[in-house]
Amino acid sequence: QSVLTQPPSVSGAPGQRVTISCAGSTSNIGANYDVHWYQQLPGTAPKLLIYNDNNRPSGVSDRFSGSKSGTSASLAITGLQAEDEAHYFCQSYDNNLSGWRVFGGGTKLTVL
């Protein structure tokens, strides 16, 4: 299983706000390593959505925001739209062993 834990699925109606959690430990998120989020639309490669906890790359809607506290992080999506239906993955760094990059297992967002 993944080092970072995400819920397998979340859902919401258009216009609503949803959050996706990413639970880690003291060797990754809790060690204050940055958390990043990726959006993967069906049949496509992941796309960077949020970097360094709460920053949006150019072109990403401000409906997406990130936060981090303790050993967990969250992605919030407001004003849910049909085009937001996708898989979302969190990513960080883990300092166990020799250190490595770790991903969450992913969360499927369904827009009802």
Partner 1 sequence: QVQLQESGPGLVKPSGTLSLTCAVSGDSISNSYWWNWVRQPPGKGLEWMAEIYHSGNSNYNPSLKSRVSISIDKSKNQFSLKLNSVTAADTAVYYCARRSSSYMDVWGKGTTVTVSS
- Residue numbers of the site for partner 1 (CB under 8 A)? 2, 33-34, 36, 38, 44-48, 51-52, 57, 89, 91-93, 97-106
Task: Tell me how far, at minimum, the Cβ of 45 lies from partner 1, in Å.
Answer: 4
Task: Tell me how far, at minimum, the Cβ of 41 lies from partner 1, in Å.
Answer: 12
Task: Tell me how far, at minimum, the Cβ of 35 lies from partner 1, in Å.
Answer: 9
Q: Are 11 and 3 in contact (CB under 8 A)?
A: no
Only one residue has tokens 């959690």, namely 21
Nearest CA to 105 out of 24, 45, 42, 33 is that of: 24
Residue closer to partner 1 (CB basis): 20 or 38: 38
Tokens encoding 100: 């490595």
Conformational region of residue 59, where left means phi above 0, alpha means psi within -120 to 50, and beta covers everything else: left
Residue closer to partner 1 (CB basis): 17 or 101: 101
Residue closer to partner 1 (CB basis): 13 or 91: 91
Q: Are strands 47-50 and 86-94 parallel, antiparallel or unpaired?
A: unpaired
Task: Tell me how far, at minimum, the Cβ of 48 lies from partner 1, in Å.
Answer: 5
